[in-house]
Amino acid sequence: MMKPDESIQIFVPLKVRKQNGRPKIMPPATYLPSEDRSQDPHILRAIGRAWGWRRRMEAGEFNTVTDLAKAVGLAERHVSRQLRLAYLAPGVLKRLVYKREVPAATLLKLTDVAALPWHEQPERVFD
């Protein structure tokens, strides 16, 4: 159990390159698509985007989710909900991104699960 003032950092080595003038998040060089092709690529893309938004907010580029939503041209509610994906438990992120495990939860459900304590998340995502 972690103490309230402790934090865990997890680094996901994503590359960002421009395509058609817009940034595109690229997976790590060791990325392997799921063999059965059943993993939803939108989940990984949404997690990468959420982490990008989180970093931009932490860097002070945006003071509020409203400012961020305006800048990216999306509804505030959508940005707020998807931003939660940047707060998934490190173990869940590892299983999704590196082990390529297919979640039992939908993208919408993952945004709800992100609000739960980390120790409760894996059973809701993968069982």
Q: What is the pLDDT of residue 97?
A: 78
This prediction's pTM: 0.66
Where are the chain's structural domains? 39-126
Q: What are the mean pLDDT values of the chain's consecutive 10-residue runs (127 residues total)?
A: 57 66 65 57 87 93 95 94 93 82 83 92 88
Q: What is the pLDDT of residue 5?
A: 58
Q: What is the pLDDT of residue 84?
A: 94
Distances (CA, A) of 36 to 32, 39, 86: 11, 8, 26
Q: What is the pLDDT of residue 43?
A: 85
Q: What is the pLDDT of residue 33?
A: 55
Buried-exposed string 91-116: b where 16+ CB fall within 10 A, e elsewhere: ebbebbbeeebebebebeebbebbee
Q: What is the pLDDT of residue 96?
A: 84
